[in-house]
Amino acid sequence: MFAMRPLASHRYPASKYKVLAFTGAPGSFPVRERDVHLHKYLRWSAKINDTVDKVLSDVQRPLLGIHMRNGPDWVSERRTLFDE
């Protein structure tokens, strides 16, 4: 899976292409019903908000966000969507 990393890093350098990549979901999506009420307490720190504002101000518009699933996660999601 990681064999493509050097090629991708060369072709799409972080200095030109701003990307945040996570190895897993930052939380359940959609949010579990039992947790919805907790969202009213979610507040990002000023540091996080400032960082987000800075990153987004440097990004060309339009902006496209993709949540890509791969490996076992993709297999599981496909099963959920199509086999049930």
Let me know: does 15 contact 23? Beta carbons within 8 Å: no
pTM over 0.85: no
pLDDT score of 51 more than 70: yes
pLDDT-based confidence at residue 19 (cuts at 50, 70, 90):
low
Evaluate if residue 25 carries a pLDDT over 90: no
Name which of 68, 58, 52, 64 is nearest 4 in CA terms.
Answer: 68
Q: What one-letter code names the amino acid at 8?
A: A
> How big is the CA angle at 81 (ends 42 and 1), to the nearest 5 degrees?
80
Q: What is the structure's pLDDT at 53? A: 92
In this predicted structure, the answer to whether residue 78 has a pLDDT above a threshold of 70 is yes
Q: Is the pLDDT of residue 1 over 50?
A: no
Q: Annotate 37-74 with DSSP letters as a single string.
A: GGGGG----HHHHHHHHHHHHTSPSS--------HHHH
Smallest CA-to-CA distance from 22 within 62, 80, 81, 70 is with 70
